[in-house]
Structure 1
Amino acid sequence: MAEAAYKGGIYVRSEQDQDTGSEDPYLKEILDVVFHHKEEGATAAVYETSKPTGLMNLQYFLGSVMENPKSDSKAKKGNKENTSGRIGPSEVVFDFRSNGGSGIVAVESHRLEVTSCSNFSTIRANCCVFKGKWVYEVMLGSEGMMQIGWCTINCKFFHEEGVGDTVDSYAFDGNRVRKWNKTTQRYGEAWTTGDIISCAIDCDEGTVTFYRNGKNMGKAFTNINLGPGYAYFPAVSLAASENLRANFGATPLRYPVDGYRPLQDPPTDDIAKAWYLLDYLENLLPYVNSGDQFPEDSLLKTDDTSLGHHPSKSCTTLLVAAHLFDQLAPLLKNAYIVEQCLIKFLLRINSFVKEEQSLICNMFDLMWSLMQDFEIKGCMESLSVSLLSLYRFSPALPDFKYHKDYLNLLLSILHHQQTRRYLLSNVLFDKIKFAMFMHIKSPDDKQLSEFVPVIWFDLEKDVDKSIKEENDKNKQKYLKSCDQLQNSVQDVEKIQVEVLKKLMIHTDVVEQKTTRIIFMEKCRKFFKENSGLGRIQHGSLCPSSVILCMFHRLIQAVRFCWDKFQEEDPCRFVTSSDAYIPIHQFWSETIDYFEFQRCGGLISHVNRMLGSEVNKAQGLSAAGSEQLFLYESKNKVRKS
């Protein structure tokens, strides 16, 4: 084995080691392509002299790169400044012990998402600030009455008093479009579900400012109390059933405010390291699963070269990838790295040219092969949480570009069988609200006016010719805008249906269960929990509008599967367009689904109102009686 040593922080290769890479031409090709330096000039020349020539010195090369990542110097400088202006742990979350007697809140396991379970509930974070400029974001899961902002530790909140109702607390409520500090005044813009509200405080100038989706709504408060004894906590108050998710800096801020810092510092060095490694991986991924193709005459050679002189191509590729993942896997445990680096990387390499052999699938093959269980499972959860958050809280554009990008990425991820089955079994319905992927964010009035800039309405018959001509032109523009918006929405719906179809695959039997069986079990549990029977208010339930969207997309996916079966066996199945529910199912007692009430009311009501009609439809009679004969099975009738 070649000998090597560090001298002055530089790996010195022996002559034998220098020749190692050249012995395997495929390895040399891999290393040249993967670690190709994009920069030019002196930096590139230095890089080329230290570039790995074989597996022997690859880990030393990666180690030197990881020791000195080229992170954003401005960001690093900002992280070191004003560190004395903050008190609290490095990881900022909601402190569920802080609400005291101010209502009941349901806090998710990551302690960043809260839902009010009482009339008016208040909770604050576990970190406070007293100097410098700070900001955090609130992503609205609902649009009702909420007061979000800042408070001191001395503020006492009750069932009817929340953030902004005390002297040293300051809040904004976009439902009532008002700001609160003991008294209330008109301020800001009305918010809606899916909005992101940035709460910024300047502890040097004594001001509090709020932003809606990155738009500055103006200074809400000036001359707030500062000095000894005054440190401000992020705090929120929510009316019953209202829901929000806070970002104190655990993931990248969607709308950073210039000059303000998140309460939780970003891992700038780790971000730089992750991008180095992911760039290398992007160069390597085309070689994964490329196959081992050797010239036929090479198999007929009878020289003394041993069979294992050169490892197979797939083995060589996997060995190089193993060195990369040895450095990358620990970084992917951080949710910030997953959202800032991994998701952007996956979006960049996403391709639908060959669905089952895409670079996405190659990437997940490597992840499942080279990451430990606790690493890959934590990464899968962070990936799902961030992807859903990005989808839910992206701005609505006329073409819904961001929503389609994130849905397409989800679809590509679900093409990978092992990932699909793990996410479906453990994450999509257990850790996140998968049904949210089936919902489409509605534009607010301002956005709608941008999507449909020209309005049109019918005019009275007796109008001037010029007015009628102008109105006809407006009609054409209006209808064109509506058609464009409708087409964009339909494009999103098509991807959503494709996602459901991917979860209804029935050809991947593992441990006697297919993806479809797992999906059906999860769906059944989901609809039961959200049925409204014995319903309690907590964050795991979905709004009715989301459930309706889920049901609509599910019907379309079922239609596809139905018609596919019909094509395979037309004698047994009719097409979905010809399918119907047999009439006797509406008065049959054989169906008991989570104690749902039957369509049309209870049996006693059906008996009283429609007894004779139902009996007639069954070809039965009750000899002068209006009693209903219940249909229980094909050959069994019971008198009611």
Structure 2
Amino acid sequence: MGFVEGFAPLQAPPTRECARATLLFKSLDTIIDELIQLSAFKTVDKKSSKAKSETSKVTEEEVAVRIDSSNSVYTPLGSPTNVLEAQGTEVKRMSRKAFLMSLARLVVIELGGCLKMSYVVIGELLTRFRGSLGLRSRSINLDPQTSEFYINIKAKAYEDLSEKMLTQPHPKLCILLDLLWTFLDESALCDIFEHCIVRECLLFDSVSPDMQFKQQIEGVYVLCGLMQHRETRHHLVKYVFFNKITFDNFLNVKCPDESVLRTVIQKPWWQRPTSVKGETDPIIADKEFNPTTVDDIAVETRYKEDCAKITEAIRPLENIQLEFVLILLDNSDGSNVVPSTRKIFLEKFRRYIMDNCILDMRLFNVSRNSPAISWCCHARLLTAVLTMWNKENPLGNLTGPPHLPPKSFIDGELDFYNVDRLGGVLPFLVRTLR
């Protein structure tokens, strides 16, 4: 089928908009590099931030840039109006940072028109997000520091990623997000971030071609990178992770294809049925069971070793999923006006449990997610609670295991959201245990 002259097919990429976005991003990258050098961005950990702020706090020196002067590097074209104004008043000055922010505003506003297309968001903006986090992307020059950070954290199986992301954010990515939040409308940013998360979710849901789970790990790593920025983190929790794409979609571990499993598990093994003492069922009691042989023991040993290899292979993915949940449960970014990420997440999660679990059981509805995703989600949440328990220890008991005091179930401290079955009808429990 031929094409109509003067018209492009619907599936054709918007080359003009992509080329325009590429040029604008190159200009914005240059401005961001100048802002980083100007502000002397330094990462400070939580423990030493207060001491450094009191002892070695250095006020940034604003360097004046002469706008309407022949001695200025940034001299615009002269106009009669500027000349008349300059004769009667003092020559106007602008700090270098303010000048760079003015340029960034012009670039970002022009860029906002290109980012209305999802193709440009995925092909250009998301690619730069990944490159700013140290992931290799096409036509993106990796920053040596971020690339080294990713290599080191990958070698440690992504342990303590959440703490490092929150205390040592990547400056280039954070400044880029700051500029987008400053000069673009929130509604436009909502669509932009939704396109990014949907794309990462589609890549995450694909079946891994091997036992490395590279695509899934990188997808969760990109989410953690975006969530190191507070405004972006709050926005994702409020409007994205409980909307079209729920956060538990990124907590699943999808099994690879059978061909991949065959390369790991050489021979499957099933435990032989054994006789049960005192069995009254004649079908089972009269059945003769073959005794376990030496070959069976060897197959069992090899099978368990192969299963241990699978457990070790998915450990980095489980670790980075845990770090993702820990970022969602961050409680250090709140104030008297703005709630913390943990508070926002828990309010959304309670509503999510009410809609997808409790109401589903009552109305016999099918949950939006499969049982496998729910099991993985609960496992990560329980592991995250255990990790935070060891750090925060809400009961002040350093030796006791994590638990809820029994009185919490009857003293009105917990809200059960109209669920009465807690080992018995709630009024009966209150009368009995009080």
Question: Structure 1 stretches of 5 or more lacking a match?
Answer: 1-80, 91-260, 300-304, 608-613, 615-627, 633-640
Q: Please state if 1:328 is matched with 2:155.
A: no
Candidates 594, 618, 637, aligned match of 2:417: 594
1:314 matched to which residue of 2? 97
2:392 matched to which residue of 1? 565
Count of residue correspondences: 341
Cα deviation for residue 519 of structure 1 reads 0.8
Q: Please state if 1:373 is matched with 2:186.
A: yes
Q: Please state if 1:268 is matched with 2:268.
A: no
Conservation of the 8 A alpha-carbon contact between 2:410 and 2:433: yes
- Distance change >3 Å, CA 366–CA 560, structure 1 → 2: same
Counterpart Cα distance in 1 of 2:263 and 2:16: 41
Q: Which amino acid aligns with 1:439?
A: N
2:198 matched to which residue of 1? 385
- Distance change >3 Å, CA 576–CA 401, structure 1 → 2: farther
Cα deviation for residue 527 of structure 1 reads 0.5
Q: Please state if 1:450 is matched with 2:263.
A: yes
Conservation of the 8 A alpha-carbon contact between 2:211 and 2:310: yes
Corresponding residue SS for 1:559: helix
Cα deviation for residue 398 of structure 1 reads 0.7
Q: Which amino acid aligns with 2:387?
A: F
- Distance change >3 Å, CA 326–CA 477, structure 1 → 2: farther
* 1:507-522 map, 5 Å: 507-510=332-335, 511-522=337-348
Counterpart Cα distance in 2 of 1:298 and 1:337: 36
- Distance change >3 Å, CA 310–CA 560, structure 1 → 2: farther
Corresponding residue SS for 1:442: coil
Q: Please state if 1:541 is matched with 2:368.
A: yes
- Distance change >3 Å, CA 496–CA 287, structure 1 → 2: farther
Cα deviation for residue 380 of structure 1 reads 1.9
* 1:124-203 map, 5 Å: none
Conservation of the 8 A alpha-carbon contact between 1:451 and 1:481: yes
Cα deviation for residue 406 of structure 1 reads 0.7
Conservation of the 8 A alpha-carbon contact between 2:62 and 2:96: no
Cα deviation for residue 580 of structure 1 reads 2.9
Q: Higher strand proportion, which one?
A: 1
Question: Could you say which structure has the greater relative contact order, defined with CA pairs below 8 angstroms and 6 or more residues apart?
Answer: 2
CA RMSD of aligned residues (A): 4.1
* 1:186-585 map, 5 Å: 264-292=11-39, 311-351=94-134, 353=149, 355=165, 356-358=168-170, 359-393=172-206, 395-453=208-266, 481-510=306-335, 511-533=337-359, 534-535=362-363, 537=365, 541-566=368-393, 572-575=395-398, 578-582=401-405
Conservation of the 8 A alpha-carbon contact between 1:290 and 1:314: no
Cα deviation for residue 562 of structure 1 reads 1.9
Corresponding residue SS for 2:357: coil
Cα deviation for residue 630 of structure 1 reads 1.3
- 1:565-602, CA deviations, whole angstroms, 9 ceiling, x for partnerless residues? 23xx8xx4225861334456778898662333424454
Counterpart Cα distance in 2 of 1:423 and 1:297: 35
- Distance change >3 Å, CA 630–CA 371, structure 1 → 2: same
Counterpart Cα distance in 1 of 2:27 and 2:60: 32
Q: Which amino acid aligns with 2:389?
A: W
Counterpart Cα distance in 2 of 1:297 and 1:548: 54
State, as a whole percentage, how many aligned pairs show the same letter.
23
Question: Structure 2 stretches of 5 or more lacking a match?
Answer: 41-57, 64-70, 73-89, 135-145, 150-163, 273-290
Conservation of the 8 A alpha-carbon contact between 2:35 and 2:97: yes
* 1:60-79 map, 5 Å: none
Cα deviation for residue 289 of structure 1 reads 4.0
Cα deviation for residue 483 of structure 1 reads 3.2
Q: Which amino acid aligns with 2:357?
A: S
1:630 matched to which residue of 2? 432
Conservation of the 8 A alpha-carbon contact between 1:391 and 1:406: yes
Counterpart Cα distance in 1 of 2:61 and 2:119: 51
- 1:197-216, CA deviations, whole angstroms, 9 ceiling, x for partnerless residues? xxxxxxxxxxxxxxxxxxxx
Counterpart Cα distance in 2 of 1:516 and 1:576: 25
Counterpart Cα distance in 1 of 2:357 and 2:125: 36
Counterpart Cα distance in 1 of 2:175 and 2:61: 30
Counterpart Cα distance in 2 of 1:495 and 1:377: 25
Q: Which amino acid aligns with 1:350?
A: L
Q: Higher helix proportion, which one?
A: 2
TM-score between the two structures when normalised by the length of structure 1: 0.46
